[in-house]
Amino acid sequence: MDATPGTGSTPATGPTHDTPAGRDSPAEPERRAGAAAIRLDGLSKSYPNGTVAVAELSLSVPAGELVTLVGPSGCGKSTILRMINRLVEPTGGHIYLDDEDITDADPVVLRRRIGYAIQDVGLFPHQTVRENVATVPRLLGWPRAKVRERVDELLDLVGLDGGQYGKRYPNELSGGQRQRVGVARALAADPVVLLMDEPFSAVDPIARTRLQEEFLRLQAEVRKTTVFVTHDVDEAVRLGDRIAVLSEGGKLEQYAPPAEILGRPASSFVAEFVGSDRGIKRLGVTDIPRHSLRTPESVPGWATATDPPHVPETATLREALAALLEGGTGWVVVDSPSGTAGVLTPDDIYRAMHDTQPGRPA
């Protein structure tokens, strides 16, 4: 399958933050690394016992995008990730970062350019939070003051108070806090690529949702090219600019934005894997189509409604439906910065779900 993405919802840009440590500076060339595109070309891994973990996978991830890998247990997700940072040696194919073939690059040097966060975090138990986060910058020989500044910046970025948590050891943190430290450590040397292997799966659902929200905020700021492995389709839909659905042997079943995967599954395997409630999931990744909006005067009760429900025009159809169901008017007002953009009824939402071109938010 050709897995070169077409149009994307996310611009392929480098970091947009403007913290003191993130500013361009001739003295800090490594901090301008930004994000690199990843290209896997016929990537394969077979084991001596005959197991084909991944067979000739080709996949491109544009710089700054987040791709989620989903698929049943044992389909090769972790192997793909671990081949990118060469914890697993490929038996065939090539890996490129931008135009550079890194298939045979020195793995130790390579891993300094690639952040890696995993389920059990892998924090060093006898080192404090600060020491853990500082691991790669120290390896790179950064001056102490710069390491300190970077650790402060990162703890802040992942929502941990350095004063309160910096001197703690991993066993003195909650599971969610440990995951945050793991993400901070993976980002420490401003890698061009971030690999995440089920980083949030060890925490309870509420902490997980919070971590996902925080990660989305963080990703919007740092815009690293990210490959994120998860078992959880909801997580894949929520976080991914694109989703790669894999079946056994690392076979790529579909590679597309979430709305397209949910709205137009390429095979019965994909349809089954993403589940029977994919209609509801799809509502959550579909924008309100402007052409579906009615004029306020055309809906019953407009003139007399005192406190109708409102959503911003940037809301998803799911948010619009939730507001509509809570509001009790039978319709929801869609606001634009300049005033009322229009009104949406349940019929409009139904039609929007059936009209919308998947992958092309209306």
Ligand X SMILES: Nc1ncnc2c1ncn2[C@@H]1O[C@H](COP(=O)(O)OP(=O)(O)OP(=O)(O)O)[C@@H](O)[C@H]1O
Binding site for ligand X (CB under 6 A): 47, 49, 51, 53, 71, 73-79, 231
Closest approach, Cβ 227 to ligand X, in A, equals 12
Smallest separation, CB 228 to ligand X (Å):
12
Q: How far apart are CA 316 and CA 113, in angstroms?
A: 36
Least distance in Å: CB of 45 to ligand X?
7
Quote the CA–CA distance of 54 and 75 in Å, as a whole number.
8
Output 7 or 73, the one with its CB closest to ligand X: 73
User: Could you tell me whether strands 251-256 and 242-247 are parallel, antiparallel, or unpaired per DSSP bridges?
Assistant: antiparallel
If the CB atoms of residues 149 and 234 are measured against ligand X, the closer one turns out to be 234
- The residue (of 10 and 201) whose beta carbon lies closer to ligand X is 201
Burial of 50 (0-12, 13-18, 19+ CB in 10 A): exposed
Q: Which is nearer to ligand X, 3 or 323 (CB)?
A: 3
Strands (E) across 178-239 are located at 193-197, 225-229
Name which of 47 and 124 has its Cβ closer to ligand X: 47
- C-beta separation of 59 from 217 below 8 A: no
Q: How far is the CB of 260 from ligand X (least distance, A)?
A: 22
Shortest reach from residue 145's CB to ligand X, in Å:
40
Nearer CB in complex with ligand X: 75/222? 75
Which amino acid is residue 156, in one-letter code?
A: D
How many angstroms separate the CA atoms of 243 and 254, rounded? 8
185, 132 Cβ separation under 8 angstroms: yes
- Cβ-proximal residues to 69 (8 Å cutoff; 6+ apart), any chain: 77, 80, 81, 227, 228, 229, 230, 244, 246
Q: Residue 268 is encoded by which pair of tokens?
A: 């019965």
For the bound state, the minimum distance from the C-beta of residue 122 to ligand X, rounded and expressed in Å, comes to 15
